[in-house]
Structures are given as structure tokens and as C-alpha cells.
Structure 1
Amino acid sequence: MNDKTLQRIMALAVFALAFIVYLATMASTVSFWDCGELLAASNILGNPHPPGNPLFTLIARVFIMVMPLHEIAMRVNFISVLTSALTVMMSFLFTIKALRIIFKGEITNFMLYCGGLIAAFLVGFADTFWFSAVEAEVYGSSMFLVMTISWLTLYWYENRGTPKADRALILIGYLGFLGM
């Protein structure tokens, strides 16, 4: 098995573990604070308090219309579960890419993957992150965009001076504006 295949398998395993844990601990109804406001705004395509989080509201509305779960709150809570698990996976991938750049091949694959796993699980199972991952909040989707932009920044750094790097910069800008 080559290195790229192993990295993809481990990234999917990290995602699957975080997803299963978050799904098992997901709130089955409306949680406190902003969750009810976000749920109501998403259901009618309204605007919650500033800054409004339009991307989350649109995605939540799609999930409300498409997902076959009984409770609307569970449908929107599922977005946080999904995007938070994706954030944990991106933390793993970001750490591996960062360590490869920093150590320039002077690190074993075992150490590389151990570092990635430790970073991903420290993010994923931190109390604050986990608490936000199982309720209807924008933090999971925002962190997913931040981690994806961070990974793309390292991708740009590795490929700077090529057309791939230019495309990565355009995607970074686009994702940054989506996250506003």
C-alpha cells in the first residue's frame, strides 16, 4: 500500500470515528441559546441575528427539506455532526501536510501519522468543540471552512508558481467569502 492510499484510509477512519461518536451524542431536539433561533430562521429561510450566517441557513434549509428524520432539529443538528467530523478529518490532513513541510522528509511516516491522529483527536474530542458538534450551531461549519482554507494554504505553498497554486488561491478566496 502506498503512502497516499494509507493517508486517505486513515483520514476516512478519523472522519468515521468522529462522525459515529458525534452522531451517538447528537442532541435529539433544540438545545439552548442560539440553536432555536438558527432552527427557526433555517426553516423559513429567515435571517438570524447578525451576522446572519447565510451559508449555514441555506444548507440547513436543504437538510430540512431532504432529510427523512422526524424532528427538524435533528436534521439541522446533523449538519453540525457532519461538518464537525469533516473538520476533524481536515485537522488530520492539515497536520500531516504541515509536518511534511516543516521536517522536509526527515520524519518517519509512523511519526507523521501519529502526529496527525493526535492533533485530530485533540480537536475532535475537546469539550468545547464536541459540545458545538452535536447541536445546531454554525461553529462546526465555520471550523470546517477554516481548516479547509488552512489546508489549501499549505497546498498553495507547496505548489507556488504553478497554475495549481493560482487555482488554490482563487478557491481560498471563494471559501473565505462563503464563510462570512
Structure 2
Amino acid sequence: GGDSGELITAAFFLGVPHPPGYPLYTLAAAAAIRLLEPTGWEVAYRANLLSACLGSLTGVMLYLSLLRWLKMVYFHELSDSTPTKTLGPFEFCVVVPALWGALSFSANVHVWNAFTQAEVFSLNNFICASILYALVRFYDSKFESLKVFIVIGALACGLGVSNQHTSVFLSIPSIIGVLCSQRFWNEGWKSRLLLSCSAFITGLLPYLYLPWASANSPDS
């Protein structure tokens, strides 16, 4: 991508790329570059490998989201711990479409390009896929598990803003959908609201990296 060189350089030297700074991606790429240093691979290759791994995880999250959603729609399944619960001869009715949807997305030429180069889009796609999964689980899980998926979704929304602002086009409708659901406001809603707000704010913490990096690398 056009920004790959800049992003890799910022991650390697712990600097700040162009606005909005992409603090989450810079930190993730910096971690990948340093953790894979013993391999002796080129710095750019290590950063590209991060995108490839995030791309694989995005496909998995999309598959799980579609699988849960299709089971919820067609079989009215409500389960906390068995997302791939056997549905007998009708299993293929949900597994095949879910797998096809995830593979179709991942094989798209624009998505594939994002997953094979050091860019913020791979991390953005993974975060958005995580938001979708948390949203589906919010609607199809038992009441006792709501808090877990609300926190995961809120954290993902915050991390999305810390990576690329376009994620708000998914985060805002998702937040509105959750807040408009009676499930959120059932007994214990105060603790769920507090935890979700805390998780969202936690997701914004990578922005603290920007002033630190600017102070320690003023030429970045």
C-alpha cells in the first residue's frame, strides 16, 4: 500500500505516522516486528506477516458470526457454549453458507491485498469482524452471558477508533442496536453499562502512545 513504508518505519522506530496517527496499528506492528526479530526475517516481512495473521483471524471471526446468526435465524438455537452444536442432516444448511460467506469476503481482491501488506485495513477488518461476532452473541446468548459479549463488543469499538476511524460506521449502529434492545436494560443493567463504558474507554488507551512517541521522537 501507499502508506506501508511509512507505517513500518513508524512501528520500527516507535514514531508517529500521518494523522490520525494509527496508534493501535503502530503498537501492534511494533510488537510483531520485535517478537519476530529472532527469525532474522526482514522488518517489512514481519509487518506483512502481521496483516496475514489478522486476515486469517478475520475470516474465522466472520465464519463464527455467520454460523451463529444462521443458527439463530433458521433453527432458533440458544446456546452459551456450543456454537457448532450438531443439527443433524441440516448442519450443512448453516455451515456451508457461513463458510462460503467468510471465504468470499477473504478472497475479494481488495481484502486480499489488505491482508498481504502492512496496512491498517487488516487490523480494522479484524476489529469489525469481532464487533459483528459480539453483536450476534449478544442477541443469541443466554442472559447470564450478556455481560461478557457486551464488554467484548465495547472494547472492540474503542480499539476500532484507536486504529481507523471508519470503524465508527459499524460501531455506532451496533451500539444503538444494543442500547435499543430490552436485553441490555434487564436486571443488572447498571453494571453492564458501567463495564461497557469502561471497556470502550480502555480501547481508547492506545492514543496515549501518540504524545509519548511525539515527545521521544519529535521528528516522526
> So what's the TM-score if we normalise by structure 2?
0.64
Paired residue for 1:63?
A: 32
Contact preservation (8 Å) 1:69, 1:75: no
Paired residue for 2:160?
A: 179
Cα RMSD, aligned residues only? 1.7
Paired residue for 1:96?
A: 67
Deviation string, structure 1 residues 17-56 (Cα, Å, up to 9, x no partner) = xxxxxxxxxxxxxxx4010110011111111112222111
Paired residue for 2:50?
A: 79
Q: Supply the distance in 1 between the matched residues of 2:132 and 2:142 (Cα, whole angstroms).
A: 15
User: What amino acid is aligned across from residue 94 of structure 1 in structure 2?
Assistant: S
- 1:16-27 matched pairs, under 5 angstroms: none
What residue ranges of structure 1 are gaps of 5+ in the alignment? 1-31
User: What amino acid is aligned across from residue 73 of structure 2 in structure 1?
Assistant: I
Q: Select the residue among 149, 157, 168 that pairs with 1:168.
A: 149
Question: Shift of the alpha carbon at 1:111?
Answer: 1.6
Check if 1:121 corresponds to 2:92.
no
Q: What is the DSSP-based 3-state SS (H/G/I as helix, E as strand, rest coil) of the residue aligned with 2:18?
A: coil
Question: Shift of the alpha carbon at 1:105?
Answer: 5.0
Paired residue for 1:109?
A: 91
Q: Supply the distance in 1 between the matched residues of 2:128 and 2:62 (Cα, whole angstroms).
A: 10
Deviation string, structure 1 residues 47-97 (Cα, Å, up to 9, x no partner) = 111222211111111111110242100000001000001101111111111
Deviant stretches of 4+, over 3 Å: none
Paired residue for 1:35?
A: 4
User: What amino acid is aligned across from residue 106 of structure 2 in structure 1?
Assistant: G
- Number of aligned residue pairs: give it: 148
Higher Cα radius of gyration = 2
User: What amino acid is aligned across from residue 54 of structure 2 in structure 1?
Assistant: T
Question: Shift of the alpha carbon at 1:159?
Answer: 2.5
Question: Shift of the alpha carbon at 1:161?
Answer: 3.5
What residue ranges of structure 2 are gaps of 5+ in the alignment? 78-86, 162-220
Question: Shift of the alpha carbon at 1:104?
Answer: 2.4
> So what's the TM-score if we normalise by structure 1?
0.77
